[in-house]
Amino acid sequence: MNRHVDEIAARLSLRQPQRRSLEILAEITDRLPLDKGMDLTTALEAARDAFPDFSGFDSRDFPSFCFALATGVGKTRLMGAFVAYLHRVHGVRNFLILAPGLTVYEKLITDFTPGTAKYVLKGIHEFAVLPPMLVTGEILKGLLRAEIPSFRYGSIFSTSTNSRARVCRIFAKSLAKAISRYCRGSAISCCSWMSRIVTGQSSAPAL
């Protein structure tokens, strides 16, 4: 039993599929050091040792996992649980969240904003006094300091010729490439919302 999983699951009232996903994350991060320069072969062997059916990292050059949950189970709350666990147990301080469209993007901003009805980190004592700084693409236009940057997927891969959209696209692509380089051979990319992180590919191995 993992007491951190137990506490976070209780605090966030996780459903069984959400709790199981958090348990899987805990098992993975217990086996894989969250360090740069991680050997992908070793990482893959460790992942398959825990989950023999795991197929691989989808041709990415850093560990990447996709958590597939049914519609309506609560992927946003699961994101909050992942953030809470990785911060508490492994000291992770920076998280990138990409949304597939404007509707989901706006919902994510609301759900990660303290004081809102469905705030996903409510009850997590580490964030009670000093909640994470939520920095959106709009804020980043004038501020390059981020804790949890959140972008619409379309703002990165848009083909619009509008000058404002073009500036946002160029900036977002540059950031995405920088994140990809930083993640290379190191930190695990935990994707519970979508699999097209940075590379724009449409599939990822599921656990």
165-190 pLDDT, tens per residue?
554 555 555 666 665 555 554 444 44
Distance CA(54)–CA(52), nearest Å, equals: 6
Extract the tokens encoding 44: 């893959």
Q: Are strands 148-152 and 134-136 parallel, antiparallel or unpaired?
A: parallel
Decide: 9 and 82 in contact? Cβ < 8 Å. Answer: no
Residues 6+ apart with CB under 8 A from 17: 69, 70, 73
Which residue in this structure is represented by tokens 């469209």? 101
The model carries a pTM of 0.68
Extract the tokens encoding 37: 């320069």
| Model confidence at 157: pLDDT above 60 | no
**Mean pLDDT estimate for the chain:** 76
Q: What is the pLDDT of residue 45?
A: 87
| Model confidence at 153: pLDDT above 70 | no
Lowest mean pLDDT among 18-22, 52-56, 143-147, 164-168: 143-147
- Please report, as a single letter, which amino acid is at residue 164: R
DSSP codes joined into one string, 105-131: HHHHHHHTSTTSTT-TTTT-GGGTSSP
88-125 pLDDT, tens per residue?
999 988 888 888 888 988 999 999 999 999 999 999 99
